[in-house]
């Protein structure tokens, strides 16, 4: 090197570099969710789910600039891969820059089949400051840092992609916020509505923003709600009052545990004063 600024070079001779990835996520709904694959000897292979845990998955999410780990997947959740199983029994500490830097049995020296391929779901977008996780100002994570989306160009198609990505149902209303000063990662988003994530939509580039109106994008999404009424007849021992608050609260806790373990449900409790209605309608569930 001849020294800083000392040269006889023109910009048509500018140097560049193409970096090849060593880890990727495939066959998932977006580039931050899928089966983990690692490249070795110019061939892509999979990772066995033996010992695969949140710490290992977090390293992958971080390496791919995909935010935090949401869920660890195993047993070829995203489908079985092909070729070699390159890594088995990964034991990351969480500080590694890449999955290939973690302690593991590497490069095909293991007995594992593709039905045990590991996967991961990472989270890179969220709604904050609203009434629920499906309402608020858009925040997206890039290079381990959360930032906003500029409201310029923000419309129904953009917001619809976001709601679907967050598993928040349909878009009810795109919103705008006078956001706090800070990083703005996306500007002039131009989704068609068919994209799986807002990252898949055209925009000006990471951190490239003038955000002339100074407003941040937001959304109010609403999941499809189905209301189900379950009527229960409580049978108690002689001398026990079924209307005792402690008994009812205990019963409600048990019902809520069962129902909410099946997904995102809410349970409301209402006393039916006329117990004969249960028998007449033949809808009693005895507990």
Interatomic CA distance for residues 63 and 7, integer angstroms: 36
Q: Domain residues of the chain, as ranges?
A: 23-123, 125-222, 232-286
DSSP string over 154-202: --HHHHHHHHHHTT--EEEEEEEE-PPSS-EEE-S----S--SSGGGS-
φ and ψ of 60, to 5 deg: -65, -45
What does the CA dihedral 57, 59, 60, 63 come to, rounded to 10 degrees? 160
Interatomic CA distance for residues 177 and 265, integer angstroms: 29
| Count of residues making up the chain | 287
The answer to whether residues 184 and 177 touch, using CB atoms and an 8 Å cutoff, is: no
CATH of domain 125-222: 3.10.250.10
Interatomic CA distance for residues 161 and 169, integer angstroms: 10
| N- to C-terminal Cα separation, the chain | 82
> Among 119, 165, 121, which Cα is nearest to 139's?
165
Beta pairing partners, 103: 91
φ and ψ of 285, to 5 deg: -115, 115
Instruction: Give the pLDDT confidence score for residue 247 in this predicted structure.
Output: 74
Q: What is the pTM of this model?
A: 0.51
- How do the residues of the chain divide into helix, strand and coil, expressed in percent and rounded to 5? 20, 30, 50
Question: 3-state class of 209 per DSSP?
Answer: coil
Q: Into which CATH architecture does domain 23-123 fall?
A: Roll (3.10)
Interatomic CA distance for residues 215 and 78, integer angstroms: 38
Instruction: Give the pLDDT confidence score for residue 272 in this predicted structure.
Output: 56
Strand segments, DSSP code E, in the chain are: 23-30, 33-40, 43-47, 68-73, 85-91, 103-106, 119-123, 125-129, 135-142, 145-149, 170-177, 184-186, 216-222, 232-233, 285-286
Instruction: Give the pLDDT confidence score for residue 282 in this predicted structure.
Output: 36
Q: Same topology for domains 23-123 and 125-222, yes or no?
A: yes
pLDDT by residue for the chain (287 residues), tens digit each?
Answer: 555 666 677 666 666 544 455 899 999 877 788 999 999 989 999 999 999 999 999 999 889 878 778 889 999 999 999 999 999 999 999 999 999 999 888 887 678 999 999 999 987 898 989 988 899 999 998 876 889 999 999 999 999 999 988 878 899 999 999 978 889 999 999 999 999 889 889 999 999 888 877 899 999 998 766 566 666 666 667 777 767 777 777 777 777 776 665 555 565 656 555 544 433 333 333 33
């Amino acid at each position: 090197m001849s020294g800083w600024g000392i040269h006889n070079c023109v910009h048509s001779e500018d140097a560049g570099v193409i970096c090849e990835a060593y880890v990727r996520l495939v066959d998932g709904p977006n580039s931050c969710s899928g089966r983990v694959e690692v490249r070795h000897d110019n061939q892509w292979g999979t990772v066995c789910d033996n010992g695969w845990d949140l710490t290992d998955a977090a390293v992958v999410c971080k390496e791919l600039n995909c935010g935090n780990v949401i869920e660890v997947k195993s047993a070829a959740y995203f489908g079985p891969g092909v070729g070699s199983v390159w890594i088995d029994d990964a034991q990351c500490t969480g500080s590694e820059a890449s999955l290939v830097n973690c302690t593991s049995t590497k490069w095909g020296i293991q007995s594992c089949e593709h039905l045990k391929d590991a996967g991961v779901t990472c989270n890179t977008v969220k709604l904050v400051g609203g009434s629920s996780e499906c309402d608020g100002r858009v925040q997206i994570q890039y290079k381990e840092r959360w930032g906003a989306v500029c409201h310029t160009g923000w419309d129904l198609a953009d917001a619809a992609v976001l709601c679907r990505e967050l598993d928040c149902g349909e878009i009810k209303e795109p919103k705008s916020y006078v956001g706090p000063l800070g990083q703005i990662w996306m500007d002039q988003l131009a989704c068609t509505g068919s994209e799986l994530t807002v990252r898949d939509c055209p925009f000006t580039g990471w951190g490239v923003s003038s955000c002339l109106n100074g407003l941040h994008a937001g959304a109010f999404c609403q999941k499809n709600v189905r209301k189900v009424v379950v009527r229960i007849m409580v049978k108690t021992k002689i001398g026990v009052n079924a209307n005792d608050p402690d008994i009812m609260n205990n019963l409600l806790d048990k019902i809520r545990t069962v129902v909410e373990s099946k997904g995102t449900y809410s349970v409301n409790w209402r006393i039916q004063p006329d117990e004969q209605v249960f028998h007449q309608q033949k809808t009693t569930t005895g507990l």
